[in-house]
Amino acid sequence: MSEINLLDRYPRSCRDIASRAAAVADQREVAKRFGREYFDGDRGQGYGGYRYDGRWVPIAERLRDHYGLAAGQRVLDVGCAKGFLLHDLRRVVPGICVAGLDVSAYALGQAMDDVRGSVVRGSAERLPFASRAFDLVVSINTVHNLDRPACVEALREIERVSRRHRYVQVDSWLTDEQRAKFERWQLTAATYSDPEGWRRLFREAGYGGDYYWTITE
């Protein structure tokens, strides 16, 4: 288990904190449905257009190199949305077997063609997969959307279905200023903490995989 940033090649977002904060109270409810409004509606209630642009390619390469991913291995993305990371993993590791799960019927309906048959609708706290089914399970900016008991269950499930590696990234902060920005900006998170609180939660869940933080700058 180690703290490691495997999204260090993800482009920094330009979140307009000030304008988002004004809208947040009204739009959290809409965002939490994880429907079209969240992914492809206006920026005040989510991504403001979640389109494939290749930004996951360097992350897929980073995962491949760090975990030694190779043809024939199996990777699960919990909270896969439209399957962009899965698509890029297939690109950078020819022959890899991918699977994805997401709660959003909308996002899955928009999944990229090559992964559409490999994604299922479900919730992270109950993964419909056999124990030790995957060489790598990743979950990026997803389990913090569950309330605390469900978040613990989701981490247990990630642990259960992995036979080797797991990587989880969640909302957190390192400074009071980052915390304040996060709390003003965030739309969907239900469980969040400083890194120490997350480590306690990981221990409670028996989560032994790698992890890192999404910090609102």
Ligand X SMILES: C[S@@+](CC[C@H](N)C(=O)[O-])C[C@H]1O[C@@H](n2cnc3c(N)ncnc32)[C@H](O)[C@@H]1O
Give the binding site for ligand X (CB under 6 A).
34, 79, 81, 102-104, 107, 123-124, 140-142, 145-146
* Closer to ligand X by Cβ: residue 11 or 117: 11
Q: Is the CB of 5 or the CB of 72 nearer to ligand X?
A: 5
Using CA atoms, how far apart are residues 120 and 181, in angstroms rounded to an integer? 33
Least Å from the CB of residue 94 to ligand X:
23
Q: What is the DSSP letter of 107?
A: H
Least gap, CB of 153 to ligand X (angstroms):
10
Q: Which residue, among 83, 143, 136, has the nearest Cα to 113 in the 3D structure?
A: 83
Residue closer to ligand X, measured from CB, 41 or 79: 79
Question: Whole-number minimum distance, CB 104 to ligand X, in Å?
Answer: 3
What secondary structure letter does DSSP report for 12?
P
**Could you tell me the sign of the dihedral formed by the alpha carbons of 109, 51, 59, 177, in that order?**
negative
Task: Between 4 and 72, name the residue whose CB sits nearer to ligand X.
Answer: 4
Nearest alpha carbon to residue 170 among 149, 146, 153, 135: 146
Q: Report the DSSP pairing between strands 162-172 and 134-140.
A: parallel
Report in angstroms how near the CB of residue 42 gets to ligand X at its nearest: 16
